[in-house]
Amino acid sequence: MKTAANRWQTTIGDALRTELWPVPAIAVVAAVALGVVMPRVDAHVDDALPPVVTAYLFNGGPEAARSVLSAVASSLVTATSLTFSLTVVTLQLASSQFSPRLLRTFTRDRLVHLSLGVLLATFVYALTVLRTVRASLSDQAAFVPQLAVTIAFALTVLSVVTLVAFLAHLARQIRVESMLREVHAETLTTMRRLLTGSDGRDSTVGQRVEVPTDAALLCAPSSGFLAAVDSAALLSAAISADVVIHFDRLPGDSLIAGTPIAAVWRKQKDGALAEDIRAAVQDRVADAVNTKFERTPVQDVAFGLRQLVDVTSKALSPGINDPTTAVHALGHISALLCEAAQKDFSDELLRDKEGQVRVVLRRPEFDQLLDLGVTQPRRFGAGDPEVLSRIAALLREVAWVSTRPAHHLAITRQVQRLSDTVDRQDFDDTERGLLHDQLRAVRNALIGRWPVSAP
C-alpha cells in the first residue's frame, strides 16, 4: 500500500514538474508578499540601523528610488521576454530536429523554472515596492524604503547571474548528447523504481493468473494514453467487492473510451458476476485510472526507449541524414536494454491480508522492449553499414548480460531478422562479411563466449 501511494505521489509530482507555471507562480506570490512586508520593516527599523549597516543601503531620495525601481521593472520585463523566447525556440528545435516527445525534457528542466521564477519575482517585487515610495508633501513626510530598494538591487544582480546561467545551460541542453543523457537517466530511474531484479530464471512461469472465460469486462472511462494506475485503489476495490481484477493494459497504451481494459471475476469462480457488483467495480477502476493526452515516464517503462528510437529514426531520415547521432542513440538504447534484461517482467500480483491474489497488473515483456529498440532503427538504417553494425553490437551486449532462455530466443529472432536485412542490401563483400562476423559474435555471446579478437 505504501509503494502504491508513493507511485501515485510520483505521478502527481511529475505532472507538476512538467508544467512551466508552478515555480514562477510561487515566486510571484512570494515577491508580492516580500514587497508588502519589507517597506513596513523599513518603517520600523530605518532609524535604528547602525551606520555600519546604512552605509551599504540605498541612500537616494524618493525620485532616485523611483528611478531605480522603474529601471529594474522595465529591464526585467525585457529579460523575461528574452528567456521565454529562447525557451520557445529551443522547444521548436527539439521538436523538429529530434523528436516532439523530447519536449518534456525541457519543460521539466528545473533551471528553466527557476530562471523564469527569479526574473518574474524581481519584476513583481520592484513594482510592489515602487508603490510605497513617496515624496515629501505638506500632509506627509517623504518615505524611501532603503532596505526594500537595496533588496531590489540585489535581486537584479541575481537576475543577471541567472540569465547568464540560463543561456549557458540552454546552449548545453540543446545538444543532442545532453538530451540523450537526460532521457537515459530518467528511463533508468523508472526501470529501477518499477522493476525488481531477476534471479536469471524464467520467473514468469507459474506467475500467470488465468482469466476465466465468464469473466466480466471493465472498460476505459476516457480516451487518451494510460499515464498511471493507482494499484492501491484497485486492490481496495477488489477486496471490497470480493473479486479478482486482471488489469490488461500497460502504462503508455492508448485507451479508447468504452473499450475493455480489465477483466473481473468472483474470487471463488462459482458463477458469473452480478451486474451491480460489476458496475460498482467499474466505477472504482475508472477512478484508479489516470489518462493523459501524452505519454509520461512515471510508470511507462517503454517511454524512454520510444524517445530514443524516435531520435534514431529522425536522424536516419533523408531530411536529417545524421547516422552518427543514430549510433549514439543506439548506445543509450543498448544500455537500457541491458538493464532491462536483468529485471523481472512477470505480472505484478497484489494480495489481500490472507495472501490471496486480488489484482493482476501486466508488465511489458522483454521481447517487446527489444523489438521496440531494434526494429525501426534496423528498418530506417538498413542502407548504412555503420548503423547495422551498432545494432549487431547492441544485440551482442544484451545477449551477454542476459541469462534467461526466453530472452535468448528473442535475441536470436532479432539476429535472424538483422541477417536477412544485411543480405537484402547492396553492400560490397567486405561490408557484408564484417556484418556477418558481428552476427556470429552475437551468437557466441548467447553461449557465453566473447572472443577478444571478435569484431
Report the share of the chain in percent with pLDDT over 90. 68
Residue 1 has pLDDT above 60, yes or no: no
Give the span between the Cα atoms of 10 and 6, in whole angstroms.
Answer: 6
What whole-number percentage of the chain has pLDDT above 70?
A: 91
**What's the mean pLDDT in 63-84?**
92
The CA distances from residue 83 to 78, 160, 241, 353, in Å, are 9, 12, 54, 54
pLDDT at 278 (0 to 100): 95
Alpha-carbon distance of 169 to 112, in angstroms, equals: 9
* Average pLDDT score over residue span 78-105: 82
Per-residue pLDDT tens over the stretch 350-361? 999 999 999 999
Predicted pLDDT at 109: 85
pLDDT at residue number 377: 98
Cell of 272: 458469473
- Whole-number pLDDT of residue 218: 97
Asked if residue 145 has pLDDT above 60, the reply is yes
* DSSP secondary structure code for residue 364 in this structure: -
Contact residues for 4 (Cβ-Cβ < 8 A; gap 6+): 230, 231, 232, 233, 235
Distance from C-alpha of 107 to C-alpha of 84, rounded to nearest angstrom: 12
The helix-helix angle for 110-130 and 62-93 (nearest 10°) equals 160
Output the nine-digit C-alpha cell for 205. Answer: 512461469
pLDDT in tens, 36-61: 999 999 988 867 778 888 888 998 89
224-229 β-sheet, strand order: 254-255, 224-229, 289-292
Q: List, for residues 229-264, the tens digit of each pLDDT value.
A: 999 999 999 999 999 999 999 999 999 999 999 999
Q: How far apart are CA 89 and CA 198, in angstroms?
A: 44
